[in-house]
Amino acid sequence: MITLEKISKQMKGRRLFENVTFTFNTHCRYGLTGPNGSGKSTLLKIIMGLEPQTTGTVTLPKKVGFLKQRIEDFKDCTVLDTVIMGNARLWKAMAEREELYEEEMTDAIGMRLGEIEEIIAEEDGYTADVEAEALLIGMNIGKELHSKKMHEIPTDRQFRALLCQALFGKPEALLLDEPTNHLDLDSISWLEGFLHNYTGTLVVVSHDRHFLNSICTHIADIDYETIITYPGNYDMMLVTKTAVRERLEADNKAKEKKISQLKDFVAKFGAGTRASQVQSRVREINRLQPQELKKSNIQRPYVRFPVPEKQSGQVAFKVENITKRYDEVVFQNFSCEILRGDKIAVIGNNGRGKTTFLKMLVGLLPPDSGKITVGHAVDIGYFPQNHGEVLNKHTKETAFDWLKSKKEVIFDQEVRGVLGKMLFGGDDAFKELPGLSGGEAARLILGGLMLIGPNTLVFDEPNNHLDLEAVSALAWGLEDFKGTTIVASHDRELINGFATKIIAFEADGIYVHQGPLEEYLERKKSSAHP
């Protein structure tokens, strides 16, 4: 159980929480939700004592697992040791035992070693290696990497090791901030299974809607400067929250209509002989004053890519026997055809070549051998994983100016319209590019593509910095798009929302499946490959 008592937090003059009292109960799995900037990560840091609150207190169980984000803190530790460090009491005891064994044995040291062995036994230290290895294997980190230093393994594997660290040691509470960020689909499925069997208190922040819907028993939504809990998963919360808001707004409208009628009566008879009736109406007006509704955090951008003015040829891309090597072969002799109107999700573990493949399609990387032929009249709109490839973060150019530069002839009103759809209201339109958050940068790039209207979209992990509602809006926009769509992503909600074809970068090759993601995963599970 985690208890917050009268927690308040202000940052940069902005109030995130005000006198929040809330309990995260044992045996419950909470999705902590709210738009980018609402304070989700800040609240987790406050709970862990890594960030001071303005007022209030936090009560925690003795053993809490927390997903750390700084891989550099563990760069010289072995992968296995990094995981075991998740149990601080056990790790401290094991480290002290190693130090004492290097000293000359005395009665005092012998006594202390006996105490340490008791601690290690209490913390299941004699099976720690086995538990840590099981977690690592579940995260697709093979045994051959367990004894390596953290800096010697790929970056995404390092983040997975930190996730294993948070899960290690049977913590009574788990705080996970974006745990699926560096996971492939298989690892996400494994994590879902692990969390379903977890019996402590879980609080998770995630932009993966499918993940939240799969694991959550409750949603703790940061809104109206407090935390509101809803039973069920994210989709259930959204239905309930929207219904409550709509009911309050309808009640206010009904009250306003009634007040208007009463005011007409008062104005008509106020100076007449019906004083008692007038006073009764005045009291009724005071009683019916509408409830002041604070602004809700439900904000969804409007993502719609225009119908392309010019269609491409029937074959958008012809890929013939392409091979690419870096230190090792990424893929070789891969061929496929991408047809006009295809809705393709590119999936696979990090490091398998998805980004390389997309950069080859858009002409930013050449294949080592083979060739890619771009079809007739294909007009590509590219969304890179690294926003800096299209947004110059070393300039004072504003969002408005950047967007206006995307089209030769355009009225300011059209630019403001697109910015409004992407949630850049008021002065936000004139934010300078270096000051944009990851989510704002992603929405701005999407706005630019909406403005220029290409007939072929090639997106590399566009959902990485988008909040849940923005990802849903993007999925609808991609599904509605009348051109060709190729998107690399690990987000199943996004993929399920638009994709009718899968290109899967697997360990034993690249597979093309005509059909949705769930069908591909089922066929992959039941046989070698589709």
Q: What is the residue type of 165?
A: Q
Number of H helices, E strands in the chain: 17, 18
Record the pTM: 0.76
Label residue 300 exposed, middle or buried (CB < 10 Å: 0-12, 13-18, 19+): middle
Residues in a beta bridge with 55: 8
Q: Indicate if the pLDDT at residue 215 is higher than 90.
A: yes
Maximal C-alpha separation, the chain: 106
- pLDDT computed for residue 172 by the predictor: 93
Residues 6+ apart with CB under 8 A from 263: 285
Residue 107 banded pLDDT, cuts 50, 70, 90 = confident
Look at residue 42 and give its three-state secondary structure. helix
Residue 312 banded pLDDT, cuts 50, 70, 90 = very high
Residue 10 banded pLDDT, cuts 50, 70, 90 = confident
Q: Indicate if the pLDDT at residue 529 is higher than 60.
A: no
- pLDDT computed for residue 305 by the predictor: 93
The pLDDT tens digits for 438-456 are 888 999 999 999 999 999 9
One DSSP character per residue, 55-94 reads EEEEE--S-EEE----GGGGTTSBHHHHHHTTSHHHHHHH
Q: What is the CATH number of domain 315-526?
A: 3.40.50.300
Structure tokens that stand for 336 in this block: 């496929």
Average pLDDT over residues 185-211: 89
Residue 314 banded pLDDT, cuts 50, 70, 90 = very high
Q: Indicate if the pLDDT at residue 337 is higher than 80.
A: yes
The pLDDT tens digits for 490-507 are 888 899 989 999 999 988
The pLDDT tens digits for 387-439 are 988 888 788 889 999 999 988 888 889 999 999 999 898 888 999 898 888 88
Q: To the nearest whole number, what is the mean pLDDT of the chain?
A: 87
- pLDDT computed for residue 392 by the predictor: 83
The pLDDT tens digits for 136-166 are 998 888 899 999 999 998 888 899 999 999 9
Q: What is the CATH number of domain 2-236?
A: 3.40.50.300
Tell me the C-alpha distance between 483 and 310, whole Å: 10
Residue 124 banded pLDDT, cuts 50, 70, 90 = confident
Between CA 307 and CA 160, with CA 469 as vertex, the angle to 5 degrees is 110
- Tell me the C-alpha to C-alpha distance, in Å, between residue 464 and each of 139, 343, 442, 475: 20, 20, 9, 13
One DSSP character per residue, 491-524 reads -HHHHHHH-SEEEEEETTEEEEEES-HHHHHHHH
Q: What is the 3-state secondary structure (H, E, C) of 104-159?
A: CCCHHHHHHHHHHHHHHHHCCHHHHHHHHHHHHHHCCCCHHHCCCEHHHCCHHHHH
Q: Which of 185-194, 252-261, 372-381, 469-478 has the lowest mean pLDDT?
A: 252-261
Residue 481: enclosing H or E segment and its boundaries?
none
- pLDDT computed for residue 351 by the predictor: 77
Domain regions of the chain by residue span: 2-236, 237-287, 315-526
- pLDDT computed for residue 109 by the predictor: 82
- pLDDT computed for residue 241 by the predictor: 79
Tell me the C-alpha distance between 447 and 304, whole Å: 9
- pLDDT computed for residue 348 by the predictor: 87
Look at residue 276 and give its three-state secondary structure. helix
Tell me the C-alpha distance between 359 and 370, whole Å: 15
In the block, residue with structure tokens 């991609």? 478
Q: Indicate if the pLDDT at residue 222 is higher than 60.
A: yes
Residue 297 banded pLDDT, cuts 50, 70, 90 = low
| One fold for 2-236 and 315-526 | yes
Q: Roughly what angle, to the nearest 10 degrees, separates helices 438-452 and 412-421?
A: 130
Structure tokens that stand for 28 in this block: 């419950």
